[in-house]
Chain A
């Protein structure tokens, strides 16, 4: 009896793209998080059915105008969308193992992340209610807050990778990790588009 063999020693020891298990692991995580946001959106509409005015009126606000402020929120949305550009540049630089671009690009991403986090806190102050005022404020604060958690984890992850590439350099496996982190960041920016529309434009347009 002679056993044939499949010799895999020539296969690459690591890859950077979507054939990597960690890429899939990240995608599954994003399924989970997207489902979570979908449920928050469902709850938003469900609670809305209990209100004649959404957001509810407040007699102590001029013209009863309680729609959430657009200024900081829109600025933050634009920053988030624009941030996909440097992230994409880093993403491409990883394919070339271009250490310099990755180092500076990642550092820039950390700064951008901090800006979006700061802007989010201003967004909270543009809501016309405290979280414990009513069911409207509960769900809106929760949507903003859950997305804030992702901004924080995304930025923390970028900071970790930044420290790594500055102190330890770049190999294929860490380039892959940066790229997977980039997918996470694109998602953070992307989900915010419909959520922004829901929270900020919904009361004005719907």
Chain B
């Protein structure tokens, strides 16, 4: 195996003129407006990741404030009303505005590169998805800033969230922002699936797809079957609450049912956890493979585990409802299923360990985060199996034991891999390397701070401290452990700050990254760092699962795509045999326009049902403009014109 740091010559432009011509075709129009109209998957993926990271920071600040409030008994930093808003907005932001979108962002950036194509499928839908997401974020936080922050918890159970117990518009804002973020998640899922189904490099049959891509495929399917549930349930809730609509879905007096809310919510809510966690396992697989320098052990088993997790993941939702009157048989079934899901996760962990064990591991920063992940996720998984047992859950339900459990799986299982992924892919993304020793500080402070914050919560939970309380009296004896947790949260904040410092200094004057700094096997490393607008000058073909480890220069390359239109190659679904060419849409202003219309609709529907027909009318108008070809503002048309110096695409790279 001889791997090179350099870009693969056969995939790069033969000369500068050819490179400039193709770049002109694929580059977005200049200026801020051009940036807003971009449909390039790299622009969009980056937007998602940066925005989601900012939301992570803001939700983290809320967490810090909550920890300050809880540091001492009978503290007066936050009152009960503010505390309710803080934990609700924290949880909602972390789940809907951080964890899911950031994974989606990584997918949108890297999936097209990993499967060897020039842009994601449905570029305009992709651009629109981001604006819907941003609109949702602005709605939630805008409400929060004008003292209408959601305050009924991140799952907003009825009857608490219903019209009788939550007057005002706080819950309406919450419900409507959910719709916006789910529109975004769904469009991202469709884009990812169509890209993977139809745009893989020739030869990339199902057994050669990188595991990160597999993970994103499985996740996207889960999104497609899970997200409609939360859209339905929040729509029911909004209709129950909205003046002049006033339905009775959840009103027992009129035959409605509060438990229906819980069923629908958790039919989405449990798979949601896997929608966050499965992409993280994809990241872990890529990092483990690269840094152990050997092919991943048990690739087919890994893929099957992902699929099994997805299936079982839909059969667990009732474990969130063990404390409600569910028939005994139902409880036993869901209890067993909840324990069963540990099997595929366990298998994956064994495969990673075997890969590391039998390879030649290099303990660089990304791998460090992965090791942290394995440890913490196993701990979170263990408490998960404990909670899956009904009698135990009845004791722990709604205590800090649960808070500890889900932060172990969410932070251990997703945030650690995410930081690993940042260190791993940052060079590809920006063309600069993050600093190694700062990275180690980043890791150790996060690891220490995290355990200091959340480990004591297990004990607090066992001692009876319930979640979502804004304070407690000294006699409970919970003060010391709470203070410890608050100190830990401070260390986490420091760690995140270290990361930001690292990223900013790297962007300003970090060392330049080569194409393949880690000697990794997958296609995103075959092109420059950062990749050109068109990704690959000649599209690659593959004949194995680790294309860059097996004489990549010798593999055939794809030539003959248009140099005048943004064309991609479509291949067959199973075996990726070239099938036809496909012209992608140009950059466009209409996705932004639609994003604005949809956001305004969901904002006004907080107040009046008439927002729906009006919103539909304006959306259809915008969609007509969107699909009517040749209907773009002038600056986009100009930018999309083929440049005169475009020569025919050379069919061969210079023979050596």
Indicate whether A24 reaches chain B with its CB closer than 8 angstroms. yes
Indicate whether B3 reaches chain A with its CB closer than 8 angstroms. no
Q: Per a CB cutoff under 8 Å, which of B122, B229, B254, B653 touches A3?
A: B653
Tell me if B's interface is mostly helix, strand, loop or mixed.
mixed
| Contact (Cβ within 8 A) A40 B255 | no
How many whole Å from A138's CB to the nearest CB in chain B? Answer: 4
Residues of A within 8 A of B231 (CB): 36
Most buried by B among A6, A9, A33, A142: A6
Known: A9-B561, A33-B228, A46-B263. 4 other contacts (CB 8 A): A1-B656, A3-B652, A14-B580, A177-B627
| Contact (Cβ within 8 A) A14 B583 | yes
Query: CA separation between A133 and B246, bound complex, in Å?
Result: 9
How many whole Å from B438's CB to the nearest CB in chain A? Answer: 40
The A-contacting residues of B in range 621-656, CB under 8 angstroms, are 623-624, 627-628, 651-653, 655-656
Indicate whether A111 reaches chain B with its CB closer than 8 angstroms. no
Q: List 29 A-B contacts (CB under 8 A).
A: A1-B553, A3-B553, A3-B554, A3-B555, A5-B557, A5-B559, A12-B580, A13-B567, A13-B581, A14-B580, A20-B570, A21-B197, A22-B122, A24-B193, A25-B194, A28-B190, A28-B193, A32-B224, A32-B228, A40-B232, A43-B249, A43-B264, A47-B249, A56-B255, A133-B254, A134-B248, A134-B256, A135-B257, A164-B628
Q: Per a CB cutoff under 8 Å, which of B240, B260, B583 touches A13?
A: B583
Indicate whether A139 reaches chain B with its CB closer than 8 angstroms. yes
| Contact (Cβ within 8 A) A21 B198 | yes
Q: Which residue of B lies closest to A49 (CB)?
A: B257
Task: Given the known inter-chain contacts A132-B247, A139-B249, please indicate yes or no for A21 contacting B582, CB distance below 8 A.
Answer: yes
How many whole Å from A57's CB to the nearest CB in chain B? Answer: 12
How many whole Å from B259's CB to the nearest CB in chain A? Answer: 8
A-side residues, CB < 8 A to B, are 1-15, 19-22, 24-25, 28-29, 31-33, 35-36, 39-40, 43, 46-47, 50-51, 56, 131-139, 141-142, 149, 152-153, 156, 160, 164, 173, 177
**Number of residues on chain B facing chain A (CB within 8 A):** 72
Most buried by B among A21, A29, A32, A152: A21
Q: Which residue of B lies closest to A149 (CB)?
A: B616
Query: CA separation between A33 and B401, bound complex, in Å?
Result: 38
Q: Per a CB cutoff under 8 Å, which of B121, B248, B579, B582 touches A138?
A: B248
How many whole Å from A47's CB to the nearest CB in chain B? Answer: 6
The A-contacting residues of B in range 211-266, CB under 8 angstroms, are 224-225, 227-229, 231-232, 235-236, 239-240, 245-249, 251-252, 254-257, 260, 263-264
Task: Given the known inter-chain contacts A24-B194, A46-B260, please indicate yes or no for A9 contacting B255, CB distance below 8 A.
Answer: no
| Contact (Cβ within 8 A) B255 A21 | no
Query: CA separation between A132 and B224, bound complex, in Å?
Result: 30
| Contact (Cβ within 8 A) A135 B256 | yes
Most buried by B among A5, A56, A149: A5
Indicate whether B136 reaches chain A with its CB closer than 8 angstroms. no
| Contact (Cβ within 8 A) B254 A134 | yes
| Contact (Cβ within 8 A) B199 A8 | no
How many whole Å from B270's CB to the nearest CB in chain A? Answer: 15
Task: Given the known inter-chain contacts A6-B541, A7-B651, A25-B121, please indicate yes or no for A50 contacting B580, CB distance below 8 A.
Answer: no
Query: CA separation between A153 and B617, bound complex, in Å?
Result: 10
Residues of B within 8 A of A33 (CB): 228
How many whole Å from B413's CB to the nearest CB in chain A? Answer: 26
Residues of A within 8 A of B199 (CB): 21
| Contact (Cβ within 8 A) A5 B556 | yes
- Ranked nearest first, the 8 interchain pairs of A and B with the lowest CB-CB distance are A9-B560, A138-B247, A135-B255, A4-B556, A135-B256, A36-B228, A134-B254, A3-B10
| Contact (Cβ within 8 A) B225 A138 | no
| Contact (Cβ within 8 A) B257 A50 | yes
Residues of A within 8 A of B389 (CB): none
| Contact (Cβ within 8 A) B248 A132 | yes
How many whole Å from A156's CB to the nearest CB in chain B? Answer: 5
Q: Which residue of A lies closest to B197 (CB)?
A: A24
Indicate whether B578 reaches chain A with its CB closer than 8 angstroms. yes
Query: CA separation between A41 and B246, bound complex, in Å?
Result: 21
Q: Which residue of B lies closest to A12 (CB)?
A: B580
Q: Which residue of A lies closest to B578 (CB)?
A: A8
Task: Given the known inter-chain contacts A14-B582, A19-B579, please indicate yes or no for A6 contacting B556, CB distance below 8 A.
Answer: yes
Q: Per a CB cutoff under 8 Å, which of B229, B245, B251, B538 touches A135?
A: B251
Query: CA separation between A126 and B110, bound complex, in Å?
Result: 53
Indicate whether B202 reaches chain A with its CB closer than 8 angstroms. yes
Q: Which residue of A lies closest to B627 (CB)?
A: A160
Query: CA separation between A12 and B579, bound complex, in Å?
Result: 8
Most buried by A among B227, B240, B248, B623: B248
Task: Given the known inter-chain contacts A19-B572, A138-B248, please indicate yes or no for A1 contacting B655, CB distance below 8 A.
Answer: yes
Residues of A within 8 A of B255 (CB): 47, 50-51, 56, 134-136
Q: Which residue of A lies closest to B656 (CB)?
A: A1
Residues of A within 8 A of B122 (CB): 21-22, 25
The A-contacting residues of B in range 582-601, CB under 8 angstroms, are 582-583
| Contact (Cβ within 8 A) B580 A19 | yes
How many whole Å from A23's CB to the nearest CB in chain B? Answer: 9
Residues of B within 8 A of A142 (CB): 235-236, 239, 247
How many whole Å from B355's CB to the nearest CB in chain A? Answer: 32
Indicate whether B186 reaches chain A with its CB closer than 8 angstroms. yes
Residues of B within 8 A of A10 (CB): 560
| Contact (Cβ within 8 A) B228 A11 | no
Proximity string of chain B (525-551) to chain A, C-beta cutoff 8 Å, 1 when within and 0 when not? 000000000000010010000000000
Query: CA separation between A8 and B577, bound complex, in Å?
Result: 11
Indicate whether B44 reaches chain A with its CB closer than 8 angstroms. no
| Contact (Cβ within 8 A) A31 B224 | yes
Task: Given the known inter-chain contacts A13-B580, A24-B193, A35-B224, please indicate yes or no for A135 contacting B556, CB distance below 8 A.
Answer: no
Query: CA separation between A4 and B554, bound complex, in Å?
Result: 8
